Amino acid sequence: PLSPFSKKDAKEVIALVEKYQKEMMKKWGIHFVHCSDEWYILAEKELPLEEQYDGYLQLENGVGMLRLFLTEFEEALSLVKEQKIEKEVSLATGRLAYPFIKKMAERLMDKFQGLKIHSYEIKNEFFGENITVSGLITGQDLERQLLGKPLGQRLLIPENMLRCEEYGEVEEKKVFLDDKTVGELEKALQVKIDIVKSSGQDFIDKITKKA
């Protein structure tokens, strides 16, 4: 039988990894071994600083993805002037990233007068609620949990929710893991869907764009 990791387990894993990181830095000048983002969130610890990720060598494995996204967001936000934007949009993500996305949305609403953002945490009913990453959220879970909710003019979802080999550049035909298309979800929810790249700049651009 498999048991899920607890907060205590996560703290122990991080402590072990940090021990090895110190040894590797002393010997080779590189951290070498890293924890994925999930461990820090489960342990309720702050994410490591950017310089501790050795240039994000394991980004595709979820190692430093949130730190990079947050850093890009802060940099992009610092360059944007406060302005009035009469707009209402919604964001949907997995349980893992939800607290971060919600705080980022709040920062944007503080910056832009008139901007209203609804942030939604999607539970993974398709694969099981212990699966918390946004990349394994299906179209049917989005439809079931967002139907009837206030979504505004557009619904924003991260691009990692979609299968990467999909039909050219036509966004409406892009497909979730359960074979539901973006176009089908738009029709079911009666809202236009924007796909957000894994970039803090694109996150701000998609939320604040006029169209």
DSSP 121-145: EEP-TTT-TT---GGG--HHHHHHH
- pTM value is 0.85
DSSP 184-200: HHHHHHTSEEEEEPS-H
Q: Minimum mean pLDDT among 53-62, 64-73, 134-143, 167-176: which range?
A: 167-176
Amino acid at the residue 191: V
Q: pLDDT tens, 183-195?
A: 999 999 999 999 9
Confidence bin at 169 (pLDDT 50/70/90): low
Mean pLDDT along residues 94-112: 94
- Please give the backbone phi and psi of residue 129, each rounded to the nearest 5 degrees, phi first: -70, -10
Distance CA 180, CA 202 (A): 24
pLDDT at residue 167 is higher than 60: no
pLDDT at residue 168 is higher than 60: no
